[in-house]
A and B are shown apart, each in its own frame.
Chain A
Amino acid sequence: MNYYESKDLGKFADVGKFRKELMDKFFDYYNTVVGTDGALTKREKSLIALAVAHSKQCPYCIDAYTTACLENGSNPDEMTEAVHVAAAMDAGIDLVHGVQMLNQFDKLGV
């Protein structure tokens, strides 16, 4: 037994067992944003979603959007670059907090 079981993704909609109308609103929003071509294509949106899935470390989303990227015509080079964008952003976000550290150095007279 793991905390994350891949088949549990199929139960996602069960979260709407209580207050179903809230999940309905979420799915409507989600499918409109991610599942349709707009100013961005579905292919581009899938690559963004793949990057976010890695940044947020969601195994369900990584499985789902690896498949979605492939089914929208992306290739391993593009998908790997998307993951690197997430990793670079995460690293940058960590490092930019170093400014806070430097500010605290100043405050403490370090």
Chain B
Amino acid sequence: MANLTENKISTNGYSSTKEKSDNEYDFDEHVKKINVSPISVETLQVNITKLCNQACLHCHVDSSPKRTEHMDLKTIDKCLEVLGSDDRIKNLDITGGAPELHQHFQYMVKEARKMNKHVMVRHNLTVTHDPHPLTGASNLYLPEFFAENEVELVSSMPYYQEYFTDKQRGRGVFAKSIESLKMLNEQGYGKGNKKLILDLVYNPVGAFLPASQCDLKSRFKKELLDKYNITFDNLFVITNMPIHRFKEDLIRRNDYEDYMEKLVNAFNPLAVEGIMCRSMVSVSYDGKIYDCDFNQMLEMQIKKETEKTIFDFDYNELLERKILFGSHCFGCTAGAGSSCGGETV
């Protein structure tokens, strides 16, 4: 509805382009009257490598086939020890890069599953078909491996058509992703079986906000079924974070300020309650711990007297921390909200 007192029309289509100063991107100011304290550490998200077979336009990790940072076995074992040490930690969320390219990826999944923990993998679909960037090894085993270990898959699929998908993730990605989805369906994924959950992730191909998760899910379901006979379980809609590669692209196109203004104007207090940093911590390849994967990439490490690593993990102490916010956090609270699990309201 029009808000004339703010001299803007905030609804569909038109929006204000009035310039804002940097301090209006102050997220702490926006949430000062809202409870943003940690609730739990239900999910331990671990970024085990920055190596990826792709180099996507929006990637906040700046991953590519040229990145070599990866978690050593000692740190992986410590993550597993922490995971097993507390029943309140229910989920292991393995991400990267393409985490499947890490030499100890299978070990980590199997050990976590032995503890009966829920394991999620941020799986980019194409890694199944592309040879390992460093060793040339095939990853065609992945669909069967995932199914055997009952891993929940969270897979980027920016759109149900080739143009948007390849524009964001590289030429040929859509075709390979379709092939992978068919292989996963053959393994039983995406058919409503709670042990073989297949989630797709949509994020906008450009500097605009995502559409409604519910509406997009319906369209994805219909189009993928009609055209490719593919099914999936959930669609997570995620807002592009104005950091790293995506931010650089915005600045290059002289669009950073407009995008930030769009996020700030779309700030939704109701979306704050469900922001993911309240119920997780994120571990970097070198063992440092952060409130989320985005803070990790901005090196905003959790600190209490000293900067914390997985080797200092203390569940109760983490519940007492103050979550670190920055201007990028407006990406998680715009519109219906955004998190690793999609909308937050």
Contact = CB atoms under 8 A, between A and B. Distances in A.
Interface residues of A, number: 37
A64 B7 CA distance: 16
B163 interface: yes
A28 B219 CA distance: 30
Contact of B13 (A24, A34, A41, A76): A34
B211 A43 contact: yes
Contact of A43 (B8, B11, B16, B215): B215
Interface string A64-93: 110110111101110000000000000000
A30 B2 contact: yes
Interface in B1-57: 1-2, 4, 7-9, 11-18
For the residues of B in contact with A, the DSSP-based class is loop
B206 A13 contact: no
Interface residues of B, number: 28
A70 B264 CA distance: 19
Contacts of A98: none
A35 interface: yes
A31 B161 contact: no
Contacts of A14: 7
A75 B161 contact: yes
B208 A67 contact: yes
A88 B269 CA distance: 44
B215 A73 contact: yes
Contacts of B219: 73
Nearest to B206: A70
Given A43-B211, A70-B204, A71-B209, A28 B2 contact: yes
Interface in B125-178: 159, 161, 163-164
B17, B161, B163, B209 interface centre (most CB from chain A within 10 Å) = B17
A13 B211 contact: no
A46 B13 contact: yes
B68 interface: no
Contact of B211 (A10, A72, A77): A72
Interface in B193-216: 204, 206, 208-212, 215-216
B204 A10 contact: no
Contact of B12 (A20, A24, A42, A73): A42
Contacts of B206: 70
B159 A64 contact: no
A27 B8 CA distance: 11
Contacts of B2: 13, 24, 27-28, 30-31
Given A41-B215, A71-B211, A73-B216, A16 B4 contact: yes
Contacts of A31: 1-2, 9, 11-12
Contact of A68 (B12, B161, B163): B12
Interface in A32-49: 34-35, 41-43, 45-46, 49
B7 A73 contact: no
Contact of B11 (A11, A34, A65): A34
Contacts of A71: 204, 208-211
B219 to A, nearest CB: 6
Contacts of B14: 9, 12, 60, 64
A31 B208 CA distance: 20
Interface of B: 1-2, 4, 7-9, 11-18, 159, 161, 163-164, 204, 206, 208-212, 215-216, 219
5 contacts: A7-B17, A12-B14, A31-B11, A68-B12, A75-B161
Which 9 pairs across A and B sit closest by C-beta, in order of nearness? A73-B211, A27-B2, A35-B11, A10-B17, A64-B13, A10-B16, A68-B13, A35-B12, A7-B17
Given A7-B18, A23-B4, A30-B2, 20 more contacts: A9-B15, A9-B16, A13-B9, A20-B4, A27-B9, A28-B2, A31-B1, A31-B11, A35-B12, A42-B12, A45-B12, A46-B12, A49-B13, A60-B14, A67-B208, A70-B204, A70-B206, A71-B209, A73-B212, A73-B219
Interface of A: 6-7, 9-14, 16, 20, 23-24, 27-28, 30-31, 34-35, 41-43, 45-46, 49, 60-61, 64-65, 67-68, 70-73, 75-77
